[in-house]
Amino acid sequence: MILPAPTVPARSCSLLDVFDLDELLISSARYYQGRSTGLAHPFAQQLAAAWPLLSSSTQHLLKKELTELITRDDEVRQWQASEAARPLHEADDFALSFSQLPLPLGTDQHRAAWLQVAAHWLPAAAATE
């Protein structure tokens, strides 16, 4: 079912009169996670700085999703490290192609920025940056 577009107030002072800030932040976080773009890193840093200002429901959802991504990222990085240690002649085509897949949290720099966000609920995340 398609909902009708919201009507824009005649004297709108801000786009936030139309858009829900929590939805924008959640959508942006989902978009930037794992992206190979220069904007993923600053977005995650800004999200970490704004964390105390977020609603509890937004924090809960972002915490759940980011915790799952951190776990997946750890698993993929561990798997890639173990595959890199295998002699090349032992690696099969699937393993070689899988090892080239993007990481769930992106580059090391992006991962460090997402861990700054996670440091709000995972004290160990702050130590691994």
- Mean pLDDT, contiguous 10-residue spans, the chain (129 residues): 66 74 95 88 95 96 97 90 66 57 88 95 66
The confidence score (pLDDT) of residue 2 equals 75
Instruction: Say if residues 32 and 83 touch (Cβ distance below 8 Å).
Output: no
Q: Where are the domains of the chain?
A: 76-129
The confidence score (pLDDT) of residue 36 equals 79
The dihedral region occupied by 18, where left means phi > 0, alpha psi between -120 and 50, and beta the remainder, is: alpha
Instruction: Say if residues 112 and 57 touch (Cβ distance below 8 Å).
Output: no
